[in-house]
């Protein structure tokens, strides 16, 4: 089906959207909000599992495994970008928390 609608067979081939149409599409997209359930589903499908470890007497103890850095940030009350920064650097956050990540393996 996609081959039948490719290149010159596509009804929009060689045409541009008008500025009015572009603005309507932009406004429609701005009003689109995902529910928390949908956001969770999206991050479980394509996200990176973020594990949070807390410093204890003998080392680090796992305190939570989250479907995204955003969820881990909500749990700790910090931003996802802070978690990502410490994931990349491998440093310990506030001499208390350590972060590790792993890619989600989607099964089909």
The per-residue pLDDT for range 42-81, each reduced to its tens digit, is 777 776 789 999 999 889 999 999 888 888 999 999 999 9
Domain boundaries, given as residue ranges, for the chain: 38-103
**Can you spell out the DSSP letters for 65-108?**
EESSHHHHHHHHTS-HHHHHHHHHH-PPBTTTEEEEEEE-----
Residue 82 pLDDT greater than 90, yes or no:
yes
Contact 52, 34 (CB under 8 A): no
pLDDT given for residue 105 in this prediction: 57
CATH 2.60.40 correct for 38-103: no
**More reliable by pLDDT, 41 or 91:** 91
- Answer whether residue 104 shows pLDDT above 90: no
pLDDT single digits (tens) 3-49: 777 878 888 888 888 999 999 999 888 878 888 888 778 777 776 78
CA distance 99 to 72: 9
Contacts of 50 (CB under 8 A, 6+ apart): 65, 66, 67, 68, 69, 71, 72, 83, 87, 99, 100, 101
Specify the pTM.
Answer: 0.58
């Amino acid at each position: 089906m996609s081959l039948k609608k490719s290149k010159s067979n596509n009804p929009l081939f060689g045409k541009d959207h008008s500025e009015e149409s572009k603005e309507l599409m932009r406004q429609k997209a701005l009003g689109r909000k995902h529910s928390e359930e949908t956001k969770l589903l999206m991050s479980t499908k394509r996200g990176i599992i973020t594990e949070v470890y807390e410093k204890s007497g003998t080392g680090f103890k796992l305190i939570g495994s989250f479907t995204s850095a955003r969820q881990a940030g909500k749990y700790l009350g910090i931003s996802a970008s802070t978690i990502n920064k410490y994931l990349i650097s491998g440093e310990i956050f506030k001499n208390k928390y350590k972060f590790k990540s792993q890619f989600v393996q989607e099964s089909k």
